[in-house]
Amino acid sequence: MIESCPVDKADYVVRPMKDEDIPQVSEIDRQAFPAESLFRPYTSYRQEIHNSVAHYLVACAQTTPLDTGSAKPWFRRLLVHLGAMRAGVQQSNPYGTQMKRILGFVGLWIMLNEAHIIAIAVESSYRRLGIGEDLLIAIIELAAQLNADFITLEVRASNAMAQALYEKYGFHVVGRRSGYYSDNGEDAVLMSTDSIQSELFRAHCQHLKRAHTEKWKNRKATPA
């Protein structure tokens, strides 16, 4: 099990997932999705984060000082780093010094102009503290930077809290998958945004991001 620690001492950043994060992400996955843990066995995570269409971010507790030498937003550093990797160029870590404690994760697939959220989960000791919303904001920003036009996801029909969060960020119900979840035959609600490239959508998300940052500014550092 992941050892807990006090939330009020846990500043964190949102950054791309790395191989060394896999054990903690796997545990969070099992906590959040006990009936349908998404990427078992363990080796599947490693394959997934090196898949060119898959993108994973983690909320990671700050155990050592961040490298503050770069003023570039995290998603711009990510895109530069991905470009260098694909070109075979070795780079130093563009996200600062080592982060160790994983508080949550989110996964995204990009398929043509569609981004699909595979999973979003927060470690049980850190839920209801705004971390899941930070991860959602970050993955929406990343999808926009990767030129996706819209984002889709599935959510359990009974998960009203998650549906409310997605609706807040511009997702709306577009369908239902009957008996989608194998553990109990529960339906999945299919949700989608309108164009995330539109000025209206971008302005709405920026407004929500500022409000979210203000709400939690005394509890955590702003994600990098």
Q: List, by residue number, the catalytic residues.
A: 154, 166
Torsion angle of C-alpha atoms 173, 159, 219, 76, degrees rounded to 10: -40
The answer to whether the beta carbons of residues 191 and 166 sit under 8 Å apart is yes
Cβ–Cβ contacts within 10 Å for residue 32, how many?
A: 20
| Residue 161 Cα distances to 15, 56, 104, 131, angstroms | 25, 23, 17, 14
Q: Extract the tokens encoding 204.
A: 């709405």
Q: State how far the Cα of 102 lies from the Cα of 93, in Å rounded to an integer.
A: 18
Characterize the bridge pairing of strands 54-61 and 12-16.
antiparallel
Q: State how far the Cα of 128 lies from the Cα of 208, in Å rounded to an integer.
A: 17
Torsion angle of C-alpha atoms 7, 19, 156, 130, degrees rounded to 10: 20
Q: State how far the Cα of 46 lies from the Cα of 97, in Å rounded to an integer.
A: 21
